Structures are given as C-alpha cells and as structure tokens.
Amino acid sequence: MADERKDLPAPEVLDDMRRRAVTLARAAGEELLRRRKERPSASSKAVRRELVTEADRAAEYAVVGGILSQFPDHSVLAEEGVLTAQGQRTSASDWNWIVDPLDGTTNYVHGLPFYAVAIGLVWRSVPVVGVVHAPALGETYSAALGLGAHCNEAPIHVSNTSHLADALLATGFAYLRDEDGAVDNLERLRRLMPEIRDVRRCGSAELDLCLVARGTYDAYWEFGLAPYDVAAGAVIVREAGGAVTDVHGGDGWLFGGNVLASNGALHEVVRRHLP
C-alpha cells in the first residue's frame, strides 16, 4: 500500500477522472429522472427485498458505456451486469471503476428522492475518486485523493462533534433479515440508541456516507454491503476529513461487507458498540 501511494497518478490526472465521472453520473441521473415520471415497475433479485428496475439498467448502460468508451483499458465492476459480467471485474487493470447506477432502488420505486448514481475509482488497491450524484435532490458529491471533497463544487467537511450524546448517527439494514446468513443490526442499534442524540435510516449507503462527509451525520455504519455501495462515498468521507474502516477498525471495508464512517473524533467510541 505504501509503495502504491508513493506512485499515485498526478493530482491533475485524478481531478480529470473526477470531472469525467461527474459528467457520466449526471447523464445517468437524467435517465433516472426521466424514467421516474411514471412509477417504475420493479422485480426482485435473489433476495425478494432487493429490487431492480429498467432504470437501474439504463443508468448503468450510460455510465459503463461511457467508461468503456473513454478508458477501454480500464477495469469495470458494475452491479447490474448490463455491459459487463454482473458483479465481476472486467480485467486486471490498475484502474478499476466501481459503479452503482442506482443506489436506493427501493426509495426510487416508492417515490422517495433519496437515491443516487455512484461511481468510485480504485487505482491498484487505493480508492482515489468518488462521485455520488443525487438527481432528485440536485446534489453532486465528488472527491479525488488529496484534492478535498465537494458538494456541487463547494467544499464540504465532516462535523466537529466530539461527544456521543450530541451525535446524530445513521445506519441501514441488509436485505437478508430472517434468512440464513443475516446479521442482526438491531442489537447494535439497541446498544447505541441510549448513548446518542438520535439515528436516521434513509436507504442509500452512498448518500449516507456523503452526509457524514458534509457534517450532517456524525457517523454511519451498516452491514450486508457490496463494493459498489461504499466505494465512491468512502473517498468523499476521507477527503472531507473523516475516517472510514470496517466495523472492526480495519481496512476491509471495500470488499468486507460492512463499513463504519465517522467524523474521526467519534470513530473509536462508535466502533466499540458494533462487535
């Protein structure tokens, strides 16, 4: 990791990648808004609570098609498998784009505006660019390694909350609940609720991460996640001055299925409630 960071691409290269990702995310967002004018039909994936719509696929086509056109030698890991194998990298390139075309599909289907297009970029093993575009909210979050985090190009920063009693936290619940392999996040929520100001559950992991980055939430945790649920937002949190780990405090958050993001000051005290 240290050697990879030493050899990172130049800041102007990363910022160019960020700007290109913003353009692709906004194009996909227009597709989502256009298709949302009529209530979209949805079907279930392997787990009945996990939905997919034609809007997911159309947005992924816009993003992944643009990436493959501009960067044919880059790898892509995309959720729906429209132009690539579903959930699999296309190659072993140093550059890996991680795409969630519609994070918050349940919100989208039910008419809630809390959904987003998320595009993350990893160079070797280092997450270097994140873009999360929420078209119904008119907000575009973006960051590139070493260049700070922004919402609609204005700088954002994590909160300075230092006491758990003053903290607003966020979480989410996996699609697996009473099925085999489910993680009981309710028990963790029960442990934290007496200690904090309050908790929110809004249904989009990538946007929850962005709200940590802008200081709305002081911390956020969740289980049952995929890389495309966290890749973009985690870069934005870190560039806004926050901390991102797995719930054990390690570096396994991208592929490990869980994440803890915070303003940094509260990271360890929240983590102790999450074993």
Q: Which of 102, 136, 155 is the last residue of a domain?
A: 155
- Mark whether 99 and 202 lie in a shared domain: no
How confident is the model at residue 1, as a pLDDT?
A: 46
Among 132, 155, 178, identify where a domain stops: 155
Residue 209 and residue 256 share a domain: yes
Give the structural domain span for 6: 2-155
Say whether both 80 and 191 belong to one domain.
no
3-class SS of residue 153: coil
pLDDT at 231: 98
Counting the structural domains of the chain, the total is 2
- CATH number reported for the structural domain that contains residue 111 in this entry: 3.30.540.10
- Strand blocks (E) in the chain: 42-44, 51-53, 75-78, 95-103, 116-123, 126-134, 139-144, 149-151, 154-155, 168-171, 198-200, 219-223, 243-245, 258-262
Residues 40 and 134 both lie in one domain = yes
Domain match, 98 and 176 both: no
Residue pLDDT tens, the chain, 275 long: 445 566 899 999 999 999 999 999 999 999 999 988 776 666 554 455 556 788 889 999 999 999 999 999 999 999 888 888 888 899 999 999 999 999 999 999 999 999 999 999 999 999 999 999 999 999 999 999 999 999 999 999 999 999 999 999 999 987 655 655 567 788 999 999 999 999 999 999 999 999 999 999 999 999 999 999 999 999 999 999 999 999 999 999 999 999 999 999 999 999 999 97
Identify whether residues 24 and 57 lie together within a single domain: yes
**Same structural domain for residues 15 and 133?**
yes
Q: Among 112, 129, 155, which residue terminates a domain? A: 155
Q: Are residues 170 and 81 in the same domain?
A: no
Q: 8 and 143 share a domain?
A: yes
Strands 116-123 and 243-245: unpaired
Q: Hey, what are 133's tokens?
A: 């575009």
Per DSSP, 78 falls in state E
Query: What's the CA gap between 216 and 235, in Å, rounded?
Result: 17
- Please indicate, yes or no, whether residues 14 and 145 belong to a single structural domain of this protein: yes
Residues 212 and 266 in one domain: yes
User: 39 and 92 share a domain?
Assistant: yes
pLDDT at 221: 97
How far is it, in rounded angstroms, from Cα 45 to Cα 34? Answer: 23
Task: Give the Cα separation of 123 and 5 in Å (integer).
Answer: 9
Question: Which CATH number goes with the domain that contains 191?
Answer: 3.40.190.80
For the CA atoms of 130, 136, 137, 143, what is the dihedral angle to 10 degrees? 10
